[in-house]
Structure 1
Amino acid sequence: MTADPQNLPFDYDAELRRYHQRLLTAMDVGPDDNVLDIGCGTGLTTREAARRAVSGSAVGVDISAGMVATARRLSEQDGLRNVHFEQADAQVHPFPAERFSLGISRFGTMFFTDPDAAFTNIARALRPGARLVQLVWQDSRHQEWATVIRHALGDGRTPPVPAVGNAFSLANPADAERLLTAAGFIDIQVTDVREPVYYGSDAEAAFNAIRSLGMTQDLRTDVDPAQTEHAHQRLLDTLAAHHTADGVWFDSRAWVITAQRR
């Protein structure tokens, strides 16, 4: 492995390409919508929303300055004039009250350290009757990618998972419904979605992509070099077993959660 994962940021747009199409259908952006994209990353969903909201607009927010900079550059390249990006924490950012007719998020709402405050803040930014459409992961036991990485790099160990601020914090629909109801949302619907996720064109590309993920650093602490080498080989072998003519894919499951601002 010669590539340095620190210089190869994980490509979430490629990983989630199948889920992206599911979200586009669910969010159903209208020509007059003003859209808020929460945890927009490099802005793919924001740009798609802006293209559909031809008489409206789209605003993407993300806590990562690097991702926001990339999102701005890509929107400029696309010539989009009705899109705007802000580096902001949606949990506390002072959005204009009742500004947006639609809120969307592609796996961006699970990481709030205070989800009650976050969804209340998002609700304030949405107009009465506005929709909120979000994709969130189901429980980790339904995520083949998480199981494979943990088994290969963690020697079967399961690190402690915080109750909030992790990828699976909204995996329980009852928890999501409680949060949304308390924040002022009604007509909450949860839909099971199952799509494979993409990790690279071949085993080596997938290996380097996985090494760039923060969770892999947590799984490989306090392990000697020989054990690390064995773990890397286990992971490479598993990735090779998942290699298809279309790249390396893993099974996964998510929820599409929709709600309406009261």
Structure 2
Amino acid sequence: MGQAHRPRGVVGWANGWMFALRPSNRQRNLWAVSLLDVRPTDRVLEIGFGPGIAIAALARRATRGHVFGIDHSQAMVRHATRRNAAAIRAHRVHLTHASVERLPSFGDPLDAVLAVNSVGFWPDSVERLRELRRLLRPEGRIALVSQPRCPGATRDTTVRAAQELQDLLTRAGFTHPRVETLDLDPPVACVLATNPA
């Protein structure tokens, strides 16, 4: 469990390869990116990017924009840097070893934020989401994804996880929440919301 939370060392490096190669992880990340409706000039942030699958998909969409990523695992930063080397050299992708509690500066306001299976690890999630809302432009979008990984997780577990994410977003001041579901085992929930104007 600790390696899933903060992969490190040789085992963390191996976990990164496992995360990248597992079909359900790839499918979940690419699906989440598709829901975020990223435009060519968007500035997008992913929190907890792992091996960088969603970062690469975001960069393919934000062709004239910028994709930022933070992850608190140095092993994952190395994985994602390798996977996104060309976009990093082109200064379109910027990856940072950092935690959600100590966000670096991203310059201009962001258009969209993505977090896949990481919100449950954040301390004081509502305050973190308020900070992210301040970094988003008015009408900016956020997508929080959860595929429960607890033993015995079912569709009901996913429904409860989606409701919890929706509640967190509402408490943080986001509006127009909606839930999308990907039919994996267990199902994946993506809760999308908007930063009010």
Q: Percent identity?
A: 24
> Residue in 1 aligned with 2:182?
193
Structure 2 matches for 1:35-184, cutoff 5 A? 35-77=44-86, 80-96=90-106, 99-138=109-148, 140=150, 141-142=152-153, 171-184=160-173
TM, length-normalised to structure 1: 0.61
Q: For the residues of structure 2 that align with 1:19 and 1:77, how far apart are their CA atoms? A: 23
> Which whole-Å deviations, capped at 9, do the CAs of 1:75-128 have from their partners, x for residues lacking one?
225655300001111133244476210111222222112212211121121111
> Residue in 1 aligned with 2:6?
none
Q: Which runs of 4+ in 1 moved over 4 A?
A: 77-80, 168-171
Q: For the residues of structure 2 that align with 1:117 and 1:51, how far apart are their CA atoms? A: 31
Give me the CA root mean square deviation. Answer: 2.7
Change (3 A) 1:100 1:138: same
CA contact (8 A) 1:107 1:136 kept: yes
SS of 2:176 mapped into structure 1 = strand
Is the deviation greater in 63-72 or in 11-20?
A: 11-20
SS of 2:119 mapped into structure 1 = coil
Q: For the residues of structure 1 that align with 2:40 and 2:187, how far apart are their CA atoms? A: 30
SS of 2:121 mapped into structure 1 = coil
1:256 and 2:186 aligned = no
Segments of 5+ residues of structure 1 without an aligned counterpart are 145-167, 196-250
Segments of 5+ residues of structure 2 without an aligned counterpart are 1-9
> Residue in 1 aligned with 2:14?
8
CA contact (8 A) 2:162 2:190 kept: no
> Residue in 2 aligned with 1:34?
43
Change (3 A) 1:70 1:170: farther
Which structure's relative contact order is higher, taking Cα pairs within 8 Å and 6+ residues apart? 1
CA contact (8 A) 1:137 1:171 kept: no
Change (3 A) 1:183 1:92: farther
What amino acid maps onto 1:14 in structure 2? L
Instruction: Please say which structure displays the higher CA radius of gyration.
Output: 1
